[in-house]
Amino acid sequence: MDLRALWDQHRSADWPKFSSLDEGELMTLDTVISGCATYYFEEQNLDAPRLAMLGDCLDELDTLLPEVPEEAGEYFQRLQTLAGMLLETSRKG
């Protein structure tokens, strides 16, 4: 799946219904990563501060993902893939 298709899929997905102490943090990560994706598709690249922020978000998401309840796993795995693809694509550009 290409980056645009993955982004479109993520944007159309509903926030998963789950209960976790990390829900607020996951919501923040989703918001920041989505903001980076929006910027990327407007500018066709990410600047250095956004790349750093995205890398930090991906590290944090990597740490939290094993604790995400199964019913929300697909949503956050897609978010993780999206963040990784954004980083990779922007670093190449």
Q: Is the pLDDT of residue 73 over 90?
A: yes
Q: Encoding tokens for residue 25?
A: 């943090």
Q: What is the pTM of this model?
A: 0.94
Mean pLDDT (whole number) for 76-84: 97
DSSP label of 73? H
Q: Is the pLDDT of residue 93 over 70?
A: no
Q: Residue 91: pLDDT band by 50, 70, 90 thresholds?
A: confident
Q: Give the model confidence (pLDDT) of 4-55 as tens digits.
A: 999 999 999 999 999 999 999 999 999 999 999 999 999 999 999 999 999 9
Compute, in degrees rounded to 10, the torsion defined by CA atoms 1, 93, 62, 10.
-40
Contacts of 40 (CB under 8 A, 6+ apart): 46, 86, 89, 90
Spans of all domains in the chain: 28-92
DSSP label of 22? T
